[in-house]
Amino acid sequence: MKVRAVRGATTVERDDVEEIYAATRELLTAMLERNEIDLDQVVSVLFTTSPDLVAAFPATAARALNFADIPLMCASEIAVPGSLPRCIRVMMHTYSDRDRSDIRHVYLRDAVTLRRDLV
């Protein structure tokens, strides 16, 4: 098996703990399902949030989905003028037999504007 990266992003309406957790769970679940990934295949997950999201760590929501023994890291995106507000981004590293071109990246809510070519 090879290590593959699966990208994803979503947005929330406001900087709120429960909104961040719910959106993160929705995104991670979609990433796993669309790529037929079992948690045993996940190597690590990197989360970033836009600078306007400070209420919660997305990794905390991942732990509620049984990601507890998977290395997780959160960071803040750089504050680029005009970038998408209230955005949570994910890069999930997994073991997979899929070709890179067969990986299904997931963009939800307003984040579909980031990669219309992949949605």
| Catalytic positions, written as ranges | 7, 63, 74, 77, 89, 107, 115
Pairing of strands 106-107, 2-11: parallel
- Could you tell me the two tokens for 13? 């309406």
Calpha distance 88→33 (Å, rounded): 19
Order of strands, sheet of 87-96, starting from the edge strand that comes earlier in the sequence: 72-76, 42-49, 87-96, 2-11, 106-107
In degrees and rounded to multiples of 5, residue 43 shows phi and psi of -90, -50
From 45, 43, 77, select the one nearest 59 (Cα to Cα).
45
